[in-house]
Structure formats: C-alpha cells, structure tokens
Structure 1
C-alpha cells in the first residue's frame, strides 16, 4: 500500500519556477548565468560493465521510463516550454542513466501516482525527491542519493510572527501528500491539546501553489524540503525568507519495483560511480544544493 506521507517534499515547485517567476516578474530581475542550474548539462561516460548488468527488459529499448512530479524546483520542474523536465534531480539521474548506457525519459505525474505507477510497470523508476522511510521500503526498492530536511519560509520580515514551535492559529501552506503534512498536523494537535487555536493548514496539489500562497500573503508560512525552500527564497527577489533551522534530515531515494532486486543493485553501483568520478558533485554544485551530498549510495538503507 502506498501512503502519501512517504515523500519528504518541501518548498518550491516547478510549476513554481514558472509560476513563481511570473508572480515575481514585476521585480524586473532577469535570469542570469549565475543562477542555479545555468550552464551546460553535466554528463557521465557509460560504464560497459555496469551497462551489462542492467536487466534485458529495461535495456532493450535503450530508454528508462521515469515517473516524476515536476512541480518541485529545484529538484524537478518544467522549463519555460511547459514540457521539458529539469532540475538537480533530473540532471543527476540523467548522469546515472548514462552510466548505465541508457537515456532517461521523463513523464510528469501527480506525486501520489508515481509509486503505484512503478508498481504497475507504467514507470521503470520513480525519481521525485522521495524520502526513504520504513513504510515505503515495504513496497519498493530504494537507492539513496541525497539528503534533505524540512525548513520553513515566510514573507520577508515574518510579518505574521510565525514561530515554528507555536504556529497555533496561523495559516500554513504545505504540498499534499508530503511528510510536511504529517509534521504540521502534529503541531496543530499540540496546539489544540493545549487549548490553543488549531493551525489552519492549506494543502496544495503543487508545491508552486503553496509557495505562491505565501508570496501573495494568503498564507503566513510554508514548510517544505530544505533545498526546495532555499531555492524558493532565492527566486523570490527578496519577498521570502527562511525561518528556523533545517530539521529531520533524511535520504532521498530512487524507487524501483520490489521484485527488481538486480536492477536496484546495479542502480546503486551507478550512483556510487557518479559519486566517485566527480559527476555527482558537479551536478549538485551547478544547482547550489551540494549541502545535501552523500558519499555512499545504499540500497534499502535502515531508516
């Protein structure tokens, strides 16, 4: 069974990149080459030994079909054409696929539809900032490749006076189907248990909409994955700021079917190979998210 809280998503989405860029366009700031993600794509050389280990059913057409929720900048989001998926998750997995002699082909989908799609065979892998946790490991194999926590963001200056430890009565935005929903729901219960007003939780299907709600003032704050929140703040032209520290860090993982153990094993080797050859570091640095780098890829790590 796939439960929605299996993914730790956080702050800005892709549509966000597009949508937030539109909402902030009045500031007149232009995209520049020093922005996260600017510059040529990072690529990796194929490893014939690893490519030989890829199951025939997957490598037969030379393509690996990827399910992703492209509303989660800077991890995975849509370029200005509204079709091309980009982001650090995408660039990094492209390199992993290249190491295996494959080309990644992305299909955008609602977050909560991706793992069922992997299980049914619609997708050969899920790449969408999935947090590895015990519940998910019951249903899929997961290969770790990054680490992220949760962080909050508010309007610049925190005009609503949001306190992470006492958000009672505040309007808080989160993306549906994320661990942040569980987080803020638990905080709201503490409020009501103490006789204080509940947190008004606004859930959005796309993280971009949650971010836009804070920018517009509809909501007082949002909580999301640390790299996503930081990217949202950077892209806001001074309209947003981070509040509090990053907490509850956990690994992201690629998800493949539970019965595809051999593929999961070679996938782990491919991730380790891009870490070793420096491609991994280059991809993360390009997007400004090297703070979440890991040194070792693991298959179904204990969490």
Structure 2
C-alpha cells in the first residue's frame, strides 16, 4: 500500500489485489475488513478524456451512479450480510450526491472490476476507499480526499518499550507478507512472523506472543470500536511515515464534476457532516 486504507478489519484488510482493464489496472492497496490488508486500486492505462463525465448531464439525469464493492466493512457493506447497503464510503458518497442535487444510485461489483467499470461507463464515480497515487492520477480524476489513514504500531496496552518505529529493532511483529507493512516492520529491524492478516496479528499481541504489529490506523480504530472488550488490552504505541489518502474517483477530464465534488466535500467538512460520519464508524474523524 501505497497502503490504502485499511478494511479495518476497514478491521481490516489491507489487501494487494491485481487487476486488468482495458489498459491494465493494477490493484495494490487504503482499505480500512482487515488491514494488514487495506485495499486499493491502481490505474496504469493511458488517460482517455473521451469518457469524461459532465456535471450538467448528471444533474439533468438526476442521478449519480456510484460503483462500490458492497462487501468491504465498514466502508461499503450490507447490514447483517443481506440488509441495506451502508458504510462510511456509502454515507459520504450519498452526502456528496445530495449536495449535487441528485439521487445516489449504487451499483455493486467485485472490487477488481470497479475501475474497469468506470472506464466502460457503467459508473459516474467509484466510492470504495481508492487511494490517490501518481500512477492512478495519470489515468483517473480524483476528488479531494475524504479519508486519511496512517500506519501505526500496535502493542499491548502496558508495553512501554516501544514508542517509535525504530524501537521495533530486535522486537517480534506479525504481518501479512503481501502487505506493505511487512516491509515497514522488516526495514525497522523487526523479526517478522508471517500471518494471514490483522485478526491473527492482533490476537498474538493480546496473547503476549509477539511485541507488536504494524497496520493501518483505520483497521485499529474499527477493531476497538467493534470489540470494546479487547480495546483496553492494546494501544497505538507509535506511527509510521505511511499515509494513505482515499477519494472519489471518476474518468479523466471530468473537471466540472470534480470541482463540484470538491465543493461538496468542503461543505460537508465545514458543517461537521464528515466528522459525524467518521465518528459513526471509527469513533473519531478520519477525514483529515
């Protein structure tokens, strides 16, 4: 990841997933289910502005068509597995659509088909914790970020030996080998045990079998919010230099739509809506 947010397990899943579209879309990944795994997508195709989205066309139609995964808790998922579509990204995209004066229409598809669907004109925008990278910006247009997540070092609550990333030298951590956080821990000098993801790594921390795990902040926040009985046993002991910024994505050249989404997000930040949505899912503001 570039690590993109954290399914926090959003807790969490920071997964690196590869995908191909008309001109090669690479999925790496900010996304806040588990996060030694955060999911993100990377576009490497040549930018095609012929499919640019027009704000006036969207407003004339009265609908903003939004591509999303629907299986990525707490960002975009169904309550109880089969209930209404909900989640942090869903609520943010819905609020943006309302600011544009249109209805949101969510179209669900597999994660690795989201950007391809955007290229194919199936969606106006994608809302699914897509992190901003230089490579993606060469192919797609992004709004201003509505999620900012940092890498964190998680330890037992009573551990005082780790207060910085450098303190991982000689310590034992547990990481998913496909995660960028594996490299972060390894480069810091940690002895890294390979696990499948956040659930295993945090369990090892709680059991005292390892010293720490490096993961996405959103994953941690989601975990302590949904598992309050375990929250007192762990803490964020330090942060890393990893920062993931996720935004709404649309086709290249959609200048007036991007400006309108930016204005909407600015209003939602100013009136406290983004902070309120963030608090609902993470217990604190993750929009900045």
TM-score (norm 2): 0.64
Change (3 A) 1:288 1:65: closer
Secondary structure class of the residue paired with 2:94: helix
Q: Distance in 2 between matches of 1:163 and 1:201?
A: 22
Secondary structure class of the residue paired with 1:229: helix
- Does residue 6 of structure 2 align to residue 13 of structure 1? no
Secondary structure class of the residue paired with 1:232: helix
Aligned to 2:199: 211
Deviation of 1:62 (Å): 1.9
Query: RMSD over aligned Cα, in angstroms?
Result: 3.9
C-alpha contact (below 8 Å) 2:222/2:281 kept by paired residues: no
TM-score (norm 1): 0.62
Q: Distance in 1 between matches of 2:60 and 2:3?
A: 28
Aligned to 1:283: 277
- CA offset digits 1:252-274 (Å, max 9, x no partner): 21111123223222211221232
Secondary structure class of the residue paired with 1:130: strand
Match of 1:172 among 159, 163, 174: 174
Q: Distance in 2 between matches of 1:255 and 1:184?
A: 28
Q: Distance in 1 between matches of 2:193 and 2:265?
A: 40
- Does residue 128 of structure 2 align to residue 135 of structure 1? no
Gap regions ≥5 residues in structure 2: 14-53
Secondary structure class of the residue paired with 1:234: helix
Gap regions ≥5 residues in structure 1: 18-52, 192-196, 205-209, 295-303
Deviation of 1:199 (Å): 2.2
Aligned to 2:119: 119
Match of 2:237 among 234, 244, 251: 244
For residues 84-99 of structure 1, the aligned pairs below 5 Å read 84-99=84-99
State the structure with bigger RCO (CA 8 A, min sep 6), 1 or 2: 1
- Does residue 258 of structure 2 align to residue 260 of structure 1? no
Change (3 A) 1:131 1:65: closer
Secondary structure class of the residue paired with 2:6: coil
